[in-house]
């Protein structure tokens, strides 16, 4: 495979078109007005960095992070959506070289028919490869396959001065580790080589099983340790003996192919009124949803997209939470702390009556390579719980309580989903933060890469 990439030529600042835009995270918690450039070529991206006129800047992929990781109110954003070329593929090794704006859906559309899948697909295929690097995303196979960065062979990183540098686990490994999961703060990833996963077909055999409560859930996950894929839906409003009940799904690749599902066949046409999601309606929905799976379980063969990206089938589903938006809280607790910690977290949201029907439990078993990877340190192996919390006047106080419980149990909060973590929480939960900051200070002494999230978390 020929991996020679185009040489950069920095064009005049006047060549860059800036537009005033208001960007939002997926949780739609308000918008961040900024100046945005949408380069189509790498030389335009370099020119955009050169032409910031002192403004700070952050890369913005598909905006699928829930909070403020990709926002930069009052500054500049480099939108990567048009840097979306696939540059090379080696079928023998499965290594794909692509620009950062290529989406997971693009990769699946082209390569699943050829027997390749992205190695660690997150729960949405709309995310870009650049975003997958910068949050070191994980999938329902994290316990076996690790995170996205584990499968990256090398990255091209554009620094604040427009120069590009190749980094890999062997070439400038420290910058590589800071960039994997580095929430865009070391530079702009302009190309990457990722090793795709070989699969027998587009089909998956999915087994669903009803789980009656939390302890049973954790045991069921442990029993499913050998499953390639596993994920659990949790009824976050069930209490008493039913606390933590849910539906565990495990899946294996299957032979033979199945029909490709239509893309976003349904769409949320308007912002739902705020009263729609109240504790009564969510409790009723959750109880019915839980009973949907027969007591003895069920098994189905489905297209991989249906299992991997169930929410992508409803376009704009984030409008379900109304105009005021929602937070997502996702934490990872070490295995030994999970029984007590998860119980306390579920009791806290149950008492507040604040959760929605979207609550997901996963098992994580491998440490990520990035200094700020979510899957890290003593929290691995562990369990991760993700909850949607509709934005209400009291939701920030609830998030603070959830942060405290997470800290008490030696856990950490996932930056890709976060909108409320405190600077102190960041320091305690990410022990390699100091090393990360050293790399940043070396690569970008003027601190030109900056975001709403980096300022909120006191990252300089």
Dig out the tokens for 309 from the structure. Answer: 């990206």
Which segments of 73-151 are extended strands (E)?
76-79, 86-90, 95-98, 116-117
Contact between 440 and ligand FAD (CB under 6 A)?
no
Contact between 181 and ligand FAD (CB under 6 A)?
no
Whether 452 contacts 72, CB under 8 Å: yes
Q: Which listed residue (162, 181, 184, 390) binds ligand FAD by CB under 6 A?
A: 184
Dig out the tokens for 353 from the structure. Answer: 């009556």
Of 26 and 217, the one with the shorter C-beta distance to ligand FAD is 26
Contact between 123 and ligand FAD (CB under 6 A)?
yes
- CB-based closest residue to ligand FAD: 131
Sign of CA dihedral 79, 83, 84, 86: negative
Whether 86 contacts 129, CB under 8 Å: no
Residue closest to 415 by CA, chosen among 375, 359, 355, 369: 375
Contact between 127 and ligand FAD (CB under 6 A)?
yes
Whether 442 contacts 90, CB under 8 Å: no
Rounded to a whole number, what is the distance in angstroms from the first to the last CA of the chain? 40
Q: Which listed residue (58, 206, 355, 372) binds ligand FAD by CB under 6 A?
A: 58
Contact between 130 and ligand FAD (CB under 6 A)?
yes
Write the binding mask 319 to 358 for ligand FAD: x where contact by CB under 6 A, - elsewhere: ----------------------------------------
Contact between 42 and ligand FAD (CB under 6 A)?
no
**Cβ density class 323-332: b for 16+ within 10 Å, e for less:** eebbbbbbbb
Q: Binding segment for ligand FAD among 126-134, 170-178, 203-211, 339-347 (CB under 6 A)?
A: 126-134
CA distances from 343 to 195, 239, 303, 386 (A): 38, 10, 34, 14
Q: Which listed residue (28, 38, 64, 440) binds ligand FAD by CB under 6 A?
A: 64
Whether 52 contacts 448, CB under 8 Å: yes
As a whole number of angstroms, the distance between CA 229 and CA 250 comes to 5
Q: Which listed residue (52, 56, 65, 202) binds ligand FAD by CB under 6 A?
A: 65
Q: Which listed residue (35, 52, 56, 124) binds ligand FAD by CB under 6 A?
A: 124
Smallest gap from residue 171 Cβ to ligand FAD (A): 18
Smallest gap from residue 16 Cβ to ligand FAD (A): 17
Q: Which listed residue (67, 131, 146, 370) binds ligand FAD by CB under 6 A?
A: 131
**Helix, strand and coil percent figures for the chain, each rounded to 5:** 30, 25, 45
Q: Binding segment for ligand FAD among 106-114, 119-127, 193-201, 220-228 (CB under 6 A)?
A: 119-127
As a whole number of angstroms, the distance between CA 309 and CA 125 comes to 6
Q: Which listed residue (189, 191, 204, 399) binds ligand FAD by CB under 6 A?
A: 189
As a whole number of angstroms, the distance between CA 328 and CA 326 comes to 7
Of 264 and 311, the one with the shorter C-beta distance to ligand FAD is 311
Contact between 134 and ligand FAD (CB under 6 A)?
yes
Reported as type and span, the H/E element at residue 281 is helix 279-291
Q: Which listed residue (416, 421, 429, 443) binds ligand FAD by CB under 6 A?
A: 416
Give 34's strand partners: 21
- Write the Ramachandran bin of 138: left for phi over 0, alpha for psi from -120 to 50, otherwise beta: beta
Write the binding mask 270 to 309 for ligand FAD: x where contact by CB under 6 A, - elsewhere: ----------------------------------------
Smallest gap from residue 231 Cβ to ligand FAD (A): 8
Of 63 and 382, the one with the shorter C-beta distance to ligand FAD is 63
Whether 365 contacts 144, CB under 8 Å: yes
Pairing of strands 76-79, 95-98: unpaired
Query: What would you report as the CA-atom Rg of the chain, rounded to the nearest whole angstrom?
Result: 21
Of 91 and 311, the one with the shorter C-beta distance to ligand FAD is 311
What's phi and psi for 248, nearest 5 deg? -95, 130
Q: Binding segment for ligand FAD among 59-67, 200-208, 234-242, 342-350 (CB under 6 A)?
A: 59-67
Contact between 361 and ligand FAD (CB under 6 A)?
no
By the criterion CB under 6 A, which residues form the site for ligand FAD?
26, 58-65, 69-70, 80, 100, 122-124, 127-128, 130-132, 134-135, 137-139, 183-184, 188-189, 311, 416
């Amino acid at each position: 495979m020929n991996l020679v990439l185009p040489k950069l030529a920095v064009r005049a600042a006047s060549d860059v078109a800036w537009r005033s835009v208001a960007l939002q995270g997926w949780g739609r918690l308000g918008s961040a007005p900024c100046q945005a450039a949408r380069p189509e070529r790498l030389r335009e991206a370099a020119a955009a960095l050169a032409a910031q006129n002192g403004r700070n800047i952050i890369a913005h992929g598909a905006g699928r992070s829930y909070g403020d990781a990709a926002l930069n109110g009052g500054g500049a954003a480099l939108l990567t959506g048009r840097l979306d070329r696939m540059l090379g593929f080696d079928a023998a090794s499965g290594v794909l070289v692509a620009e950062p704006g290529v989406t997971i859906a693009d990769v699946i559309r082209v390569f699943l028919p050829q027997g390749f899948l992205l190695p660690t697909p997150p729960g949405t295929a709309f995310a870009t490869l650049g975003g997958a690097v910068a949050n070191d995303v994980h999938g329902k196979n994290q316990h076996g396959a690790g995170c996205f960065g584990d499968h990256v062979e090398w990255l091209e990183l554009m620094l604040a001065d427009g120069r590009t540098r190749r980094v890999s686990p062997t070439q400038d490994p420290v910058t590589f580790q800071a960039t994997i999961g580095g929430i865009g703060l070391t530079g702009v990833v302009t190309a990457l080589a990722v090793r795709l996963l070989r699969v027998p077909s587009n089909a998956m055999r999915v087994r669903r099983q009803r789980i009656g409560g939390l302890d049973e859930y954790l045991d069921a996950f442990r029993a499913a340790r050998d499953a390639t894929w596993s994920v659990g839906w949790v009824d976050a409003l069930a209490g008493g003996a039913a606390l933590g009940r849910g539906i565990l799904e495990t899946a294996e690749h299957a032979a033979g192919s199945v029909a490709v599902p239509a893309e976003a066949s349904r769409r949320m046409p308007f912002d739902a009124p705020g009263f729609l999601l109240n504790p009564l309606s969510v409790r009723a929905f959750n109880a019915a949803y839980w009973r949907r799976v027969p007591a003895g379980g069920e098994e189905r063969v489905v297209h991989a997209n249906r299992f991997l990206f169930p929410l992508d089938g409803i376009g704009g589903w984030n409008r379900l939470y109304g105009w005021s938006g929602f937070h997502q809280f996702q934490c990872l607790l070490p295995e030994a702390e999970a029984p007590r910690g998860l119980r306390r977290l579920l009791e806290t949201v149950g008492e507040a009556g604040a959760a929605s029907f979207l609550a997901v439990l996963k098992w994580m078993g491998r440490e990520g390579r990035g200094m700020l990877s979510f899957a890290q340190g003593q929290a691995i192996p562990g369990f991760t719980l993700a909850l949607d919390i509709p934005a209400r006047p009291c939701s920030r106080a609830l998030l603070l309580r959830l942060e405290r419980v997470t800290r008490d149990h030696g856990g950490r909060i996932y930056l890709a989903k976060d909108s409320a973590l405190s600077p102190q929480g960041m320091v305690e939960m990410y022990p390699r933060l100091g090393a990360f900051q050293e790399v940043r200070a070396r690569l970008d002494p003027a601190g030109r890469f900056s975001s709403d999230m980096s300022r909120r978390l006191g990252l300089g």
